[in-house]
Amino acid sequence: MPLTIGRTRVIVHPLALLYPLAATMLGAGSEVAPLLIALILHEGAHLVIAHCLGVSIPKLRVTPFGGAMVMDNPYGLSPLRLAAVAAAGPLANLLAMMAAAALAHWQVADPCFALAFMQTNLVLLGFNLLPALPLDGGRIAYALLSLKYKPEKALSFGIWVGRIVAAALLCASVASAVAWHSVNLSFLFAAVFILASADDERQALSGTRTQAMLGTLRPIDKPVTARLMAVGADCPARDALRAARPDAPTLFAVYKGNRLSSITDDRRLVEAALEGGMGMKVGEVGKF
């Protein structure tokens, strides 16, 4: 049965289950417990603050390099709420470091464990604060930049920084393999995750804009003047919807080559885009 915390479904990647075993076999088993505790505090803080602010977290993916929460409509949140949820995890790691130092100073906790725990939290804190999407620092950077720039520009900044961070992680992994004849799997997993998340972030932003547009469409209860637009079947839905206006219904005459193949409207196109993504082609939308 799937594990759920409140309304959040926890999805554990199979490789994440092998990570503690591999670490133990490689002689790094003592690092597993501090890492697990730090990750639980980090992701738990995200969930608590999200719940307090009314932000839905439908999924939490546990991957070989850590946790990755999936927020419902993240780019539809206000910058303050988005930044607050994103900052909760790193803040929890900072507080955990301070608590570990205090417990070690008072001789309540074992100094060796406290040091390892502080180092683990420091790594999580520093890594997650990098201004790269989908890391927490990337979310915070997007929230701040979106106050001044368009969402697409703020998103592109986070994605490009993510590519730079991923490239640096790959180079670090290669360098460690050459120097110490061992591959740092954490660097590889993190780099692949960051690179693969770029399309997800763009889809999330497109979905937010599509939902916003759907909310502006007014019900038609009497005859009104509609706008007619001709569009190619291979045109992406995002490009076609940019021509639509909320003050009047828009009909799209879809052409394949020089022939009219179907007619659709803005409402049907928005609903189809929400299900299939803004990158889907207009010709893929069902006919009336």
- Those residues whose C-beta lies under 8 Å from the C-beta of residue 101, and which sit 6 or more positions away, are 114, 118
57 φ, ψ (degrees, to nearest 5) = -120, 90
Weakest mean pLDDT among 23-37, 133-147, 245-259: 23-37
- Those residues whose C-beta lies under 8 Å from the C-beta of residue 237, and which sit 6 or more positions away, are 269, 272, 273, 276, 277, 278, 279, 280, 281, 282, 285
Q: What is the pLDDT of residue 1?
A: 47
Q: What is the pLDDT of residue 145?
A: 94
Q: How far apart are CA 247 and CA 282, in angstroms?
A: 22
Confidence of residue 83 (pLDDT cuts 50, 70, 90): very high
Q: How far apart are CA 181 and CA 186, in angstroms?
A: 15
Judged against a pLDDT cut of 90, whether residue 266 lies above it is answered with no
Give yes or no for a contact between 264 and 226, defined as CB atoms under 8 angstroms apart.
no
The arithmetic mean of pLDDT across residues 86-100, rounded, is 95
Judged against a pLDDT cut of 70, whether residue 210 lies above it is answered with no
207-221 burial string, b = 16+ CB within 10 Å, else e?
bbbbeebeeeeeeee
Q: Which domains does the chain have, with CATH numbers?
A: 3-215 (no CATH), 227-284 (3.10.580.10)
Q: What is the pLDDT of residue 262?
A: 87
DSSP assignment letter at 209: H
End-to-end Cα, the chain, rounded Å = 41
Give yes or no for a contact between 188 and 169, defined as CB atoms under 8 angstroms apart.
yes
Give yes or no for a contact between 155 and 162, defined as CB atoms under 8 angstroms apart.
no
The arithmetic mean of pLDDT across residues 260-270, rounded, is 83
Percent of the chain with pLDDT over 90: 26
SS3 194: helix
Judged against a pLDDT cut of 60, whether residue 177 lies above it is answered with yes
- Cα–chain center distance at 48: 18
287 φ, ψ (degrees, to nearest 5) = -80, 160
Percent of the chain with pLDDT over 70: 79
Give yes or no for a contact between 132 and 165, defined as CB atoms under 8 angstroms apart.
yes
Token pair recorded at residue 93: 């790691």
